[in-house]
Amino acid sequence: MDRFLIKGPCKIKGQVSISGSKNAALPILASTILFEKPVIIKNLPRVKDIDTMLNLLKSLGSKIQFLNNKSTVKITKNKKKKIFASYSLVKTMRAGILVLGPMIAKHHKSITSLPGGCLIGARPVNYHLNALKKLGMRYEIKKGYIHAISKGKLKGAIIKFSNISVGATENSIIAACLAKGKTILKNCAIEPEIKDLTDFLRSAGAKIKWIGKRTVQIDGVQSLNSIKYSVMGDRIEAGTFCVIASISNGNLLIKNFDPNLIKTELNLLKKIGSKIKIFKKEIYIQGTNKIKNINSIITKEYPNFPTDLQAQFMVLLCKANGRSIITENIFENRFMHVAELRRLGAKIMIKDNKAFIEGNTEFLGAELMSSDLRASAALVIAAIVAKGKSVINRIYHLDRGYEKIENKLRKIGANIKRLS
């Protein structure tokens, strides 16, 4: 099993190019099940979750052809339709459930495994199932699989989500594209990745319009057109590199990314003392050796602070002058990195969904264990500024969501090596 060897502290400077967004690409790839005609998707990140989704699509009858150094993929339909999404493919990735909506909309039946992914909280699929049921899907769960069917085409409905759910919003939007009549979804998630999905579907001929801040209307169409589409940049990767520059007193130019997508995060980094200049598709960020503490980081749905950057910001606040507080409102198990950060010397106390972080930590290298994707990124950041050697085990979590992160880090000054 691969692990990272990192020798710190490292001085970070140079430039880094942000890859395509994993969280935008996954629903876009799932939605290609709706298409009869070929689709070309560009700027795909080459990460494990994307490979898993492409293998899942292959198992469901799509032909996958890589172009342009594997960051572009052409997806064509085979004549034979398949409706079985197996546990072996869905178990490692939460987004596996996203094939359910398009399969029901297109083939009117599906057998889909309940999904896996990081062990950071319950994340139930009932929001997906309840919404699809209102569109006309009937289902039962047997031996870990959702056996679903619809009598012909799904039918448009008015659906209000009881909780804001990114995945359920995506699944419902995709399914409603081919439904009969009009669907209105209320209390939707509005993450940029969802806007990217709706832009993709609209450019293929879907009739989708936002009619309120969290309300979307979809008028069903007969079929979707062949298109080429480029996936947006990854805002969590961009945010992670901003933290790396900030904590290491670094100088970093972050390219191939729209700064408007992480306004909340950039404003927080300015508060703690980082100097930031933003351009059309670039962020220039200079860290500070006098990091200020913050007591007001609360993870909430977009456009608020994202849970996917909570662990990375926690490492940064360990180096701040004074005590900071982070409140985690999205997932109940999202502090699993804390025990590992303590091994490096962090002083963090957890009470319910709050983390109390004592600043001025001098990290000392240690052997560490990754527990989930974003926790792994946090450990890498801590190891980069720690004194001495750190070994980070179970980095397959990182490979699920960050493209060639060690290569990118080496180019900007990190002393990092992958050990097999």
Please give the positions annotated as active site.
Answer: 118
Handedness of CA 334, 325, 296, 269 (dihedral sign): negative
CB 360 within 8 A of CB 321: yes
Distance, CA of 282 to CA of 364 (rounded, Å): 33
Sheet holding 275-278, edge to edge: 13-17, 251-255, 282-286, 275-278
Nearest to 101 by CA among 123, 124, 131: 131
CA distance 373 to 377: 7
Q: What is the 3-state secondary structure (H, E, C) of the chain?
A: CCEEEEEECCCCEEEEECCECHHHHHHHHHHHHHCCCCEEEECCCCCHHHHHHHHHHHHCCEEEEEECCCCEEEEEECCCCCCEECHHHHCCCHHHHHHHHHHHHHHCEEEEECCCCCCCCCCCCHHHHHHHHHCCEEEEEECCEEEEEECCCCECCEEECCCCCHHHHHHHHHHHCCCECEEEEECCCCCHHHHHHHHHHHHCCCEEEEEECCEEEEECCCCCCCCEEECCECHHHHHHHHHHHHHCCCEEEEECCCHHHHHHHHHHHHHCCCEEEECCCEEEEECCCCCECCCCEEECCCCCECHHHHHHHHHHHHCCECCEEEEECCCCCCCCCHHHHHHCCCEEEEECCEEEEECCCCCECCEEECCCHHHHHHHHHHHHHCEEEEEEECCHHHHCCCCCHHHHHHHCCCCEEEEC
Sheet (strand 354-358) strand order: 297-299, 324-328, 354-358, 347-351
Q: How many CB atoms lie within 10 A of CB 359?
A: 16
